[in-house]
Structure 1
Amino acid sequence: MPDSLNHIFSEPANLATAWSAFFTNELYRCGLRHAVISPGSRSTPLTLAMAAHPHIQTHVVLDERSAGFMALGIGKASGRPAALICTSGTAVANYYPAVVEARMSGVPLLVLSADRPPALRQVGANQAIRQQGIFGSYTVFEHDAGEPVARTEDFRRLEILAGQAWNSSIHHGGPAQVNFPFRKPLEPTAAFRDYLPGHYTESLEARTEPLTRSAPVQWRPPAAVFQTIARSRRPVIIAGTLPAHCLLPEILDMLSDEGIPLLCEAGASSGRQTGEAYITGFNAFLRSASVRDRLQPDLIIQIGPGPSGKGLEHYLREYRDIPRLHFQSNVLWAEPSLGSSITVQVPANAELVRVPLTKYIPEGWLRDWQETSREYLAQRDTGLQAASVLRDGDVHAVVAASLTAPETVMISNSFPARDADLFAMPAFGRHTVFMNRGASGIDGITSTAAGLSLAGSQPVTLLTGDLAFLHDLTALLAAPALQQVSLRILVINNQGGQIFRMLPVYEPSDWYTRLFETPQHVDFAALGKGFGVQTSEVTTASQLQVALEQPRKNGIEIIICHTHPDESMHQRRDLWNAWN
């Protein structure tokens, strides 16, 4: 500990906050810019240290589950982990869903959990649970910081720990947890609290670089990859939802000008998916065995996780013994079709060395895909013009047509993730699209969108279902803190979990409706207004179009889209069945 700071230990109450401040400042040197704080007592030292930093934005979120997903959204938008701070006990357990999603979708995240000291563990002390290793295999790094000790060597080790957690989260693409046991007293003196901002400034003037940092890495695809592609005559490129800040979207972009059919779901969109090789409607027409037979590949180039649509699922399973190159980042294994593949492991944080590709692909191969795609679009447009009531697909189509300037689009799981491919592509390809497709839950959707709006530079549009919206209702508690960003939420109220109508369990009956579709009889407009959020309702496509033409304002805006569930299913089935 530098002699100039020895005076802070004349008061024992300052030690825990000083410990937290050194950790916080080293995280700032690493690149931390956002902290999401769940209020609590045991985390007081971490909270005060983070809030006092002049260059870190702090966001206070009451519900820990919502806070976790907000931090996830910040990581998605920025490519940098946000710090999550909570007290001890079940508070940290409520981060679990966001931690799972971060790990399975390759998003950096830092969990800084306050804890009781070892003397209060396993003895029945209040609000004490087993927090070390609480997230199991879903963290890429986990460590207990130990109790604060007023020695120079211990403070230096703490700064090294900050770098370890940060670099692990960035380079392995996932969540890191550091557990902080604190004894009482937890609150520093008022004089020390006032001293903290100046301490940060002085410390950063003395040293701007972190103690541990990684040298820039350049990654070049192996030569064998290009040799394999060059030998192919009927290759296809398939991409599901991709993390925005890694090499996978760049690899997709590198291959997009090569005349290879690109079957990219909406979640792969990074704002550049506009070339003639991008195919629309594949998740509809690839449901047909005859179409799959006509479009049989001799090489599948898969980028990132497996897709979510049935068409591509059938295609990958049917041709799982066709040679496959699978570009994967440092996330969990992502090959549900059990295909035979050559895995190309891509580092999570590196610079891509672009290599020209020498190949010969007959022009007719891409043309066959394009003609099938044009036929699909003609059928879709005919169906969209035949609307007598508002349907789920109409909402996606109207929203996609309304986005003229670049925007960030967040799409919920369940039917919205599939309807985006059916009804909103290729328009969504001009925008950056995010989905939580790691574990594909409906939890935390609105909170993730809020995080995207906090860390991004564009307006955010969220398409979500009624159940997903209600599941994450506490996200609206953050509305007062989101007055400087623009977040428009479109709630597709189709009266419950309509996706179960695709499953064998479906039959028109009271027990099915009660147990599976679970329609919620809620006044959505009153809910929004109760949170102080501007809320409107639409029941037709023309009403929705008018609502979307209104100038965007800062803050949260909710548009409730009341859609007809039966007609929405007919709309989808018409597209699916047109190819049989």
Structure 2
Amino acid sequence: MKQFTSKRSIQILAHMLKEYGIHNVVISPGSRNAPLAIHFSETDDFNCYSIVDERSAAFAGLGMAKSEKKPVAITCTSGSAAANYYPAVTEAFYQNIPLLILTADRPADYVDLFDGQTIRQQHLFQQHSYGDFQLLEDDAEGADDTNFNLAKKAIELCLEKCGPVHINIPLAEPLYELLSELPMYPAVEKTIQKKKYEIPSTLVAEWNLAKRIMILTGTRDHSKDLDMQLQQLVKNHSAVVLTEVNSNLNHPKFFSHTDRYITSFTEEDFRTYAPDLLITVGQNVVSKRVKQFLRKAAPKQHWHIDPHWQPDTYFALTEKIEVSAEAFFGRLLNFIALEPRTYFNLWDVLRDKKDEKHLEYCRRSSFSDFKLFEILSYKIPENWHVHFSNSSAIRYAQLFDFQKYHVHCNRGTSGIDGSTSTAMGYAMKNPEPTLLITGELSFFYDINGLWNQYIPPYTRIIVFNNGGGDIFRIIPGPASTNALDEFILTKHQRNAELMAKNFGFGYTRVDDEETLIRVLDNFFKPDSKPKILEVDTSAVENAEILKDYFRHLD
């Protein structure tokens, strides 16, 4: 016999989630949120996932939302459990991933009385959420109508803003009173409105008058429509399109390896290759070099296209276009002249020169982190979805041809803390295989990302272990300090073998190029359990190899 909570606030909330098609719920164990856990797990409309560590659970929910492109609810008990959601909430906020955060709480008048597991939970995520709501307890006057309206507003805000929204739920004891039948609740009249976009004639005129048009795409999901639209713009060399590995755009005439091309730019080059019209699409750009280039280039016009964010990243923003890139370019292409511009040829000559130097270096480079990423760029099967951890992993990926894969990276806040959990959450809802490529510090830091029973057997993880946070040997500054080894890059001698065994993953370790190439084909073959491949490059001067690469490009 089914058992449902007697708490009407939770019954109403569950009804609203069902009405809006939100079916995935990540539950972390606890007592105060037991009514939510009981109700969701007993209701046929929800897919429930139990993940103990709240920090990991929130990132897993984020990964699930990325995979299915629809909101995921996460729920936990009160106190520090709720605070542990915060890293994933900030990532979801800056990446516009729809998370519905359901935190159970003590009654409001228990706050600051030193009652167990009680903190100031209301508005806990206010700085990094699109809305903060607190339901009324069942015995409050008008509670049902108020909670119905609050839940509706919160869910619609989560859908409209495509980002995190917090619902705090005070629950008085008893917590375990149950029902076998639920009352009927009314259907919901949805009030989300879609925006229509008409392009201003002034923008069409600016495009047609511009001689040097650059389109820079940052972090975004794959879009077949945008890919085709931008292909039309480069077909006749009308614009230069710069992409990054996590832009998920792919065409031979796109400039996909920006750091290769601009790393040795002089002050004169900044002027030579500068656009007069810069159009930026999507969110966070990985390349620090391209940010420095465009800030110095100071384009006359800069349009930014994104429904949610219009940051003045390059200190030149002239037009905020609050619409999807597909809607904007779909309208723009109806009005502009697709005339060739010599600006494209200028960049094309630069690309040919730098790509040849890149290939020269690859032919002579030895086993290292650099060589690993070169090999992976052609050894990963084409239908795989690839997640890169932050720090050096995503930066190495920028240098090679990963454009044929669906690429993901937590570039909202660019932290290493939830890369594994996000990738595992994504894998749990993705019918195609998922691969995580991660540095060992990011992997060790988020090891609880493997602590759940839902990771499919076709999931793969490649850990490149260089014995510490090698990024700090690459970027300028840390190497000049006495604190480098112990306190900045955190030198160590750990490996992932026992961790893999503990979580039921297959495990292979390699420390040379020949063995790596030999084992990769088998590594990607189907198996009864997920696998970890650890590539040990700790004996290699990886930072010097990468610095030498950029010197070779000069």
* TM-based fold match above 0.5: yes
Confirm whether residue 481 of structure 1 aligns to residue 459 of structure 2. Answer: no
- Compare 397-406 and 56-65 and name the one that shifted more: 397-406
Unaligned runs of 5+ in 2: none
Pair 1:213–1:340, CA change in 2 (3 A): closer
Q: What is aligned with 1:437?
A: 411
Residue equivalent to 2:280:
302
Following TM superposition, by how much is the alpha carbon of 1:487 offset from its aligned partner in structure 2, in angstroms? 1.8
The TM-score, its normalising length taken from structure 1, stands at 0.87
CA apart distance, 1:352: 8.2
- The 5 A counterparts of 1:339-418 are 339-346=316-323, 354=331, 355-362=333-340, 364-389=342-367, 391-418=368-395
Is 1:335–2:312 an aligned residue pair?
Answer: yes
User: How far apart are the structure 1 equivalents of 2:200 and 2:509?
Assistant: 53
Q: Secondary structure of 1:537's partner? A: strand
306 and 344 in structure 1: CA distance in 2 versus 1, 3 angstrom threshold: same
Q: Does 1:134 align with 2:127?
A: no
Q: Pick from 28, 44, 50 the counterpart of residue 18 of structure 2.
A: 28
Amino acid in the other structure paired with 1:406: N
- TM-superposed deviation, 1:421: 0.8
How far is the alpha carbon of 1:535 from its aligned partner?
1.3
Using a 3 Å threshold, how does the CA distance of structure 1 residues 20 and 274 change in structure 2: closer, same or farther?
same
- How far apart are 1:294 and its partner, in Å? 3.5
Superimposed CA distance per residue, residues 303-342 of structure 1 (whole angstroms, 9 cap, x where no aligned partner): 12342213312221111243211113314x5333322432
| Separation of aligned partners in 1, 2:12 and 2:33 | 15
1:500 partnered with 2:491: no
Aligned mates of 1:566, 1:435 — CA distance in 2: 26
CA distance in 1, matches of 2:385, 2:139: 45
Cα distance in 2, alignment partners of residues 456 and 307 from structure 1: 25
Question: Which shifted more, 62-71 or 349-358?
Answer: 349-358
Q: CA deviation at 1:104?
A: 1.2
Q: Are the aligned partners of 2:5 and 2:39 in contact in 1 as well (CA < 8 Å)? A: no
Change (3 A) 1:121 1:352: farther
Find the aligned partners of 2:351 and 2:513 in 1 and give their Cα distance: 25
Taking a change above 3 Å as real, the CA distance of residues 554 and 369 of structure 1, as seen in their structure-2 partners, is: farther
Partner residue, 1:3: none
Is residue 186 of structure 1 aligned with residue 159 of structure 2? no
Does residue 532 of structure 2 align to residue 558 of structure 1?
yes
Looking at structure 2, the residues matched to 482 and 234 of structure 1 have their Cα atoms a distance apart, in angstroms, of 48
Q: How many residues align?
A: 544
Kindly state the Cα deviation for residue 566 of structure 1 after the two structures are TM-superposed.
Answer: 5.0
1:449-464 to structure 2, matched below 5 A, reads: 449-464=423-438
Question: For residues 36 and 176 of structure 2, what CA distance do their matches in structure 1 show?
Answer: 10
Q: Does the residue aligned with 1:58 lie in a helix, a strand or coil? A: strand
Give the letter aligned to residue 418 of structure 1.
R
Q: Separation in 1 of the partners of 2:325 and 2:136? A: 30
- C-alpha distance after superposition, 1:253-287 (max 9, x if no partner): 52332122211111111xxx232321133213212
Q: Secondary structure at the match of 1:334?
A: coil
Instruction: Give the letter aligned to residue 504 of structure 2.
Output: G
Among 447, 471, 479, the residue aligned to 2:421: 447
2:100 alignment counterpart: 110
Tell me how far apart the structure 2 counterparts of residues 149 and 349 of structure 1 sit (CA, whole Å): 48
Moved more, 533-542 or 100-109: 533-542
Matched, 1:421 2:398: yes
Structure 1: how far apart are the matches of 2:300 and 2:228? 23
CA distance in 2, matches of 1:385, 1:30: 54
Q: 2:233 aligns with which of 234, 251, 258?
A: 258
Shift of 1:26: 1.5
> What amino acid maps onto 1:407 in structure 2?
W
1:224–1:42: structure 2 CA closer, same or farther, 3 Å change rule? same
Structure 2 length as normaliser, TM-score?
A: 0.91
Does the Cα contact within 8 Å between 1:330 and 1:348 map onto a contact in 2? Answer: no
2:94–2:412 CA contact under 8 A, matched in 1: yes
Residue equivalent to 1:467: 441
Give the corresponding residue for 1:536. 508
**Structure 1 residues 284 and 109, CA gap change in structure 2 (3 angstroms):** same
Q: Which residue of structure 1 lines up, in the alignment, with residue 149 of structure 2? A: 160
Unaligned runs of 5+ in 1: 1-7
The answer (yes or no) to whether the contact 1:304–1:334 under 8 Å persists in 2 is: no
Separation in 1, partners of 2:254, 2:150: 45
Helix, strand or coil at the partner of 1:422: coil
Aligned-partner residue type, residue 546 of structure 2: R
Partner SS state of residue 289, structure 2: helix
Distance 2:335 2:429 in 1: 36
Contact 2:215 2:240 in 1 (8 A): yes
Change (3 A) 1:217 1:537: same
Alignment RMSD: 2.8
Cα distance change, pair 336–358 in 1 and its aligned pair in 2 (3 A): closer
CA distance in 1, matches of 2:528, 2:376: 19
Q: Which amino acid aligns with 1:100?
A: T
Matched with 1:4 is none
**Residues 35 and 350 of structure 1, relative CA distance in 2, 3 Å threshold:** farther
The one-character-per-residue Cα deviations of 1:530-553 (angstroms, maximum 9, x if unpaired) are: 221111112233333333312133
Q: Quote the residue 1:5 is aligned against.
A: none
| Partner residue in 1 for 2:521 | 549
Q: Does the 8 Å contact 2:361/2:552 carry over to 1?
A: no
Offset, 1:236:
1.1
Report if the CA contact (8 A) 2:59-2:418 is conserved. Answer: yes
The question of 1:95 aligning with 2:85 is answered yes
- 1:304/1:280 Cα in 2 relative to 1: closer, same or farther (>3 Å)? closer
How many angstroms does 1:101 deviate by? 0.8
Which of the numbers 312, 328, 333 marks the counterpart of 2:290? 312
Distance of 1:457 and 1:228 partners within structure 2: 44
Three-state SS of the structure 1 residue aligned to 2:16 is helix
Residue identity matched to 1:433: V
Q: Which amino acid aligns with 1:521?
A: Q
Q: State the partner residue of 1:287.
A: 263
**Alpha-carbon distance in 1 for matches of 2:174, 2:16:** 24
* Aligned CA distance change for structure 1 residues 458 and 230 (closer, same or farther; 3 Å): farther
2:166 alignment partner, one of 161, 177, 198? 177
- Correspondence for 2:498 among 519, 526, 545: 526
More off after superposition, 410-419 vs 89-98? 410-419
Map Cα deviations across residues 212-232 of structure 1 (whole Å, 9 max, x no partner): 342444434444333322222
Q: Tell me, yes or no, if the aligned pair for 1:110 and 1:177 is still in contact at 8 Å.
A: yes
> Do 2:470 and 2:542's aligned partners in 1 also have CA atoms closer than 8 Å?
no
Q: Would you tell me which structure has more helix in proportion to its own residues?
A: 1
Distance change >3 Å, CA 542–CA 322, structure 1 → 2: farther
Describe the shift of the 1:334–1:59 C-alpha distance in structure 2 as closer, same or farther (beyond 3 A). same
Q: C-alpha displacement at 1:115, in angstroms?
A: 0.3
For residues 348 and 549 of structure 2, the distance between their equivalents in structure 1, rounded to whole angstroms, comes to: 17
Identity within the alignment, %: 26
Asked if structure 1 preserves the Cα contact closer than 8 Å seen for 2:9 and 2:135, the reply is: no
Change (3 A) 1:137 1:310: closer
Change (3 A) 1:298 1:50: same
